[in-house]
Amino acid sequence: MVPPGPSLNDVPTLPARYLTPSDVAALLGVPIETVYQWRRKRTGPRGFRVGRHLRYDPDDVRAWVESLMEGAAA
């Protein structure tokens, strides 16, 4: 007998929509150039490329903001 494979509940789902740099800038109320500077300096939220397009996972942006808030509270 073959053991069952992973169920749909075991497979993580993609977010409803990945964020563009413009989305991140608008969400955080900063200029878009600031988002690009964070990426160059590797100080901002994790981003990834889809072809030539830069995208951000909303969960990564949220985690990054939370890490900033934790650092500010210390």
pLDDT of residue 2: 54
pLDDT of residue 5: 54
Any idea where the domains of the chain sit in the sequence? 16-73
Cβ atoms of residues 18 and 58 within 8 Å: yes
Of 14, 25, 20, the closest CA to residue 54 belongs to 20
pLDDT of residue 8: 47
Q: Per residue of the chain (74 residues), what is the pLDDT tens digit?
A: 555 555 445 555 667 899 999 999 999 999 999 999 999 999 999 999 999 999 999 999 999 999 999 877 76
pTM given for the model? 0.76
- Per the structure block, which two tokens stand in for 2? 């073959």
Residue whose token pair is 């740099």: 21
The CATH code of domain 16-73 reads 1.10.1660
Q: What are phi and psi of 33, to 5 degrees?
A: -60, -30
